[in-house]
Structure 1
Amino acid sequence: MTTQQFTGVIDRFEEELAVILLEVDGEVVDEIALDRSELPTEAAHPDAVLEVTLTDGEVTDLSYDPVETTDRKERAQSRFDRLAERPPDDEES
């Protein structure tokens, strides 16, 4: 029996399926699709961060990480804000 831990990020929904990107050390290594009904209620939105345990390739544990979800959202907004504030360089004017 092989058990693996991943950080999962809900990428998108395709009808009743949630497509979850699996990450190890911040790098996407795989993706899985689960029925939307298998998600924790509070995690049923894009960009939700989950802790995912796979045993022999099957999801055996799935839990929502609200702190990491908020942190990622804030980091992404911060990057966006920094890019939006960059002055144009001389070649763009």
Structure 2
Amino acid sequence: MIPDGTYTAVIDEIEDSLARLELEAADGELYELVLDVAELPAAGRETGSVLTIECTDDEVTDAKYDPDGTERRSEAAQDRFDRLSQRPSDDQ
């Protein structure tokens, strides 16, 4: 059960017509939610998209795509990848 509230959600996976979202509450609590893709905003129906989700009585009452959050998350992931892919110098 997901407590009533507003969450930052990231689409972790989309398979067939279902999307698996990872939700994070303001206090850091994490939840998982599976929704029909049709319930998500059209602009945010991709793996890695960041959404703001409101839940009431274990139902999603609102879902908004966060393009800035999605871009920040994508850039952070690319930065981590770039750092990991750099070869260590011979000085180390």
Which TM-score tier does this pair reach, normalised by the shorter chain? Answer: 0.7 to 0.9
Length-normalised TM-score, structure 2 = 0.85
In structure 1, distance between residues paired with 2:35 and 2:88: 43
State the match for 1:23 in structure 2: 24
Q: How many residues align?
A: 89
Mapping of 1:26-37 within 5 angstroms? 27=28, 29-37=30-38
What residue in structure 1 maps to residue 48 of structure 2?
47
Structure with larger Rg? 1
1:27: how far off? 4.9
- 1:24 Cα deviation after fit: 2.6
Structure 1 residue 67 displacement after superposition: 0.2
Q: How far has the Cα of 1:30 moved from its partner?
A: 1.1
User: Percent same amino acid among aligned pairs?
Assistant: 45
- Asked if the contact 1:51–1:65 (Cα under 8 Å) also holds between the matched residues in 2, the reply is yes
Gaps of 5+ in 1: none
Structure 1 residue runs of 4+, over 4 Å off?
25-28
The RMSD of aligned alpha carbons is 2.2
Q: In the TM superposition, what whole-angstrom CA distance separates every residue of 1:52-93 from its partner, at most 9, and x where no partner exists?
A: 100111100100000000000001101110111140689xxx
TM-score by length of 1: 0.84
Higher normalized helix content (fraction of residues): 1
1:14 Cα deviation after fit: 2.2
Offset, 1:3 = 2.9
Corresponding residue SS for 1:46 = coil
2:65 aligned with 1:64: yes
C-alpha contact 1:21 1:28 (8 A) present in aligned 2: no
